[in-house]
Amino acid sequence: MIRGTQGIDNQIATGVSFVQKIPELKQKCISPEQKDLGQLCFSIESPHILKRGISVSENAFVLGAIKEKGLTDEEFDCLWEYLGYCPVSRHFKYFAGLEIKGHVIYGMDYGRMIKRDNSSIFFDHHGEVQFGKVRFFVILDFERKEDTTLALTECFRCPRYSPEINILSVKVTNEIKFVNIKYIKEGCMYLSVDNTSRKYVCRFPNKLESD
């Protein structure tokens, strides 16, 4: 909408006027049947809203591109343990970002997540409450996405968990496991105190930073 610096004041005024007119134009010119045009207007009006990809389960959407990834020996062994049998291949479709139940979670493999933490999760594992950091997400079978979309998670140990406490002390472990995304309860924030061994998870999402 802005082209060069000549007459920049007029360009800005025209751009603002155009954006302000969008709701009125949408109401007058776009019928409910024209969903594509409605989505275009919504993306212009709300550029900060993350663009969802495919739905992988109820209230869960892929954020970003889906690519192919080869698992390391450690990750492959972990998947073998999760499935109970040896997979035929170690290459699977994977993605780095997930919106689930209103929480935005990015795996640690997401290249743009350097300082912030959007990778920590609070999840249920066989009836036991656990915390961890997601490396990435994989889809084992596109025909059964809801049952085969998993988060590879580096687990924390929380020795004094209480549902009434929002900031909990945790210990980092060497355990990794695949977690079905339907068992993710919420996104959290992971905090570590410099020059100490103290580490915490905060049971509220990081909403200060997003793409």
Kindly compute the dihedral angle of the four CA atoms of residues 130, 204, 201, 67, in this order, to the nearest 10 degrees.
70
pLDDT tens-digit profile of 131-147?
999 999 999 998 898 89
pLDDT tens-digit profile of 36-73?
666 665 555 555 455 678 889 888 999 888 999 999 99
pLDDT tens-digit profile of 76-125?
999 999 999 999 999 999 999 999 988 889 998 887 665 567 899 999 98
- The H or E element that residue 21 is part of is helix 8-29
Kindly compute the dihedral angle of the four CA atoms of residues 77, 86, 147, 161, in this order, to the nearest 10 degrees.
-30
Report the alpha-carbon distance of residue 141 to residue 10 in Å, rounded. Answer: 53
Q: What is the mean pLDDT of the chain?
A: 81
pLDDT exceeds cutoff 50 at 171: yes
Prediction pTM value: 0.72
Tokens of 3: 């082209």
- Residue ranges of alpha helices (H) inside 57-210 are 73-83, 145-148
- The H or E element that residue 132 is part of is strand 128-139
Report the alpha-carbon distance of residue 173 to residue 163 in Å, rounded. Answer: 22
